[in-house]
A and B are shown apart, each in its own frame.
Chain A
Amino acid sequence: MRTPGLSGAMLPAIRDSNTLHQALDLGYRQLLVERGSLLAMVGPLAGAARQGVAIFVNLDAVEGLAADSAALAFLATDLGFSGVLSVKPHLLRDASRFRLRTVQRIHALDSTGLETGLNSVGQPAPYAIAIAPAVAIPQVMPTIRESTNVPVWGTGFITTTDQAAAVLAAGADVVSSAELKLWREFRGARIGD
């Protein structure tokens, strides 16, 4: 893959052109398009990708894209994005054919659901798994590590410094948040710090 991967521990979650520019102005070289219409900000996103910013898309939540091969081809070939997130293993399998990095989203709502989610992690292993809500990670990390060694991202409900720090301290490589304040605070945090 020629597109860039992640190196920072904070992954800004953006939802429109404003938040996109705020993250870029802070010097971020990685973004998660978490929701909102991807098509409404496709120009600035493509521009950022051309300049080497790693862009990941949550396919389960963004608007304007179908969950199909044509959409994946658009993200990979036309836009040069780095990867996609989804709860759907078959969609991630398709995405890997387009040389997108794949991030398996797993809902950590209760033990039963977590187990089902971890069992859905397919082969080849994804680039990462994204646990939602991230605030559950300190509780569920031991269970995750019994099942897989792939990098763990935390997404969802992260609004305070303490929450983000606890997620990273529990062993997550990356934490995602939509809070500008946290983007400022964790700007220099590298993966594995």
Chain B
Amino acid sequence: MATRAMTPPARAQAVDRSVARLFEAFDRVPVAAVIRHAEDLPRALASQVPAIFFVRAPAFHLGPLVWAVQARGKMAFVHIDLIAGLGKDRAGVAFLAREIGVNGIITSHSALVAAARADRVIAVQRLLLYDDLGLHSAMTAVEHARPDIVEVQPAVIFPLVVDQIRARHPVPIIVGGFVTEPHQREAALERGARAVSTSTVSLWP
């Protein structure tokens, strides 16, 4: 892809393959399970979701959880901004990517998106849309950081901003934040989200 012209070929191929694999899976089951409490993990492992997002997990006890996810043929993503105990920097990203072997990293920070790309894991950049000014600066950050995927939060904002995002930058979008009812999941998918992320167990197929 032209947007990857600056990326070393090896990284581009490896990550593009795993991004493609993720989206093939999302085309079948467009849901990522967000794990807020460890006790929800068995339900997520038993579900058909192709991806599991860890938020707020303790970094140095994350390995076995991630490996259990991958043993089920699912992809494990870690939200580094909220992980306790881990530096929000290149070394923190490298730990997750190299020592634990996560499939992807979720962050709102452009510098960490770049670090994730350098470490050859999928980079998901969260757009934290709490006001309309935030949209402009967040899109500038996305254009600069070039994540593999953008996650728009909260979901209720997505219909209000989807056209502006698409006009600015072509990037696959997943939607999360207060998705607790089936109709909210369907609404996001109808507007072009590739998947929704939710911690509501009943929404995991």
Contact = CB atoms under 8 A, between A and B. Distances in A.
Interface of A: 34-35, 61, 107-112, 116, 132-133, 135-136, 139-140, 155-157, 159
Interface stretch (B8-16, B20-28, B65-73, B152-160): B152-160
Contacts of B94: none
Given A135-B160, A139-B178, A156-B131, A108 B55 contact: no
Contacts, number: 68
A111 B157 CA distance: 15
A111 B36 contact: yes
Interface in B27-59: 34, 36, 55-56
Contact of B56 (A112, A132, A133): A112
- Most chain A beta carbons < 10 A, residue from B154, B178, B180: B154
Q: Across chains A and B, which 9 residue pairs bring their CB atoms closest together, nearest first? A: A156-B131, A132-B130, A110-B177, A109-B153, A139-B178, A107-B130, A156-B130, A112-B55, A133-B130
Given A61-B131, A112-B55, A136-B177, 18 more contacts: A107-B128, A108-B130, A108-B177, A110-B153, A110-B154, A110-B199, A111-B177, A111-B199, A112-B34, A112-B199, A132-B131, A133-B129, A135-B157, A136-B178, A139-B180, A155-B131, A157-B129, A157-B131
Contacts of A111: 36, 177-178, 199
